[in-house]
Amino acid sequence: MAHVLAIYEVDRAWGGPEEGGWWFDCGTLVRIVRVVGSADRAASVALRANRLLERLQRAKRPVSSIAYEGGRHCVLAFEDIAPPAYPAVTPRYE
């Protein structure tokens, strides 16, 4: 089974007003970077790519900062197809 590695621009979205308000991480697809054959290989490549991205993005504000203006990216691995955004379903407060 093919595993797709894709770059996403990350952000935070408002989840709701429960218990003082809560946020969740989300992202939009920037591009597909690689297709590999195994889940282990996909995890390994994604880990290495995210380590590199962390080094390259050191000067950018973290996503959790109120002054975050975008521009942070991460690599995620999926089976068969990379969705246009994550999470596919908006989380609910329970």
Asked if residue 11 is part of any domain, the answer here is yes
Asked if residue 91 is part of any domain, the answer here is no
pTM (predicted TM-score):
0.87
Q: Do the Cβ atoms of 23 and 15 come closer than 8 Å?
A: yes
At 69 the pLDDT is 86
Cis peptide before 84 (omega within 30 of 0): no
- Asked whether the predicted pLDDT for residue 92 surpasses 90, the reply is no
Provide the number of structural domains found in the chain. 1
**Mean pLDDT, residues 34-42:** 95
Asked if residue 94 is part of any domain, the answer here is no
20 three-state secondary structure: helix
Mean model confidence pLDDT for the chain = 93
Asked if residue 33 is part of any domain, the answer here is yes
**Mean pLDDT, residues 30-58:** 96
At 7 the pLDDT is 97
Asked if residue 36 is part of any domain, the answer here is yes
Distances (CA, A) of 83 to 35, 51, 56, 80: 14, 22, 25, 10
Asked if residue 92 is part of any domain, the answer here is no
Confidence at 73, pLDDT banded by 50, 70, 90: very high
In terms of residue numbers, what domain contains 8?
3-86
Rounded Cα–Cα distance for residues 89 and 87 (Å): 5
At 50 the pLDDT is 96
Phi/psi at 55 (nearest 5 deg)? -65, -45
39 three-state secondary structure: helix
Residues, the chain: 94
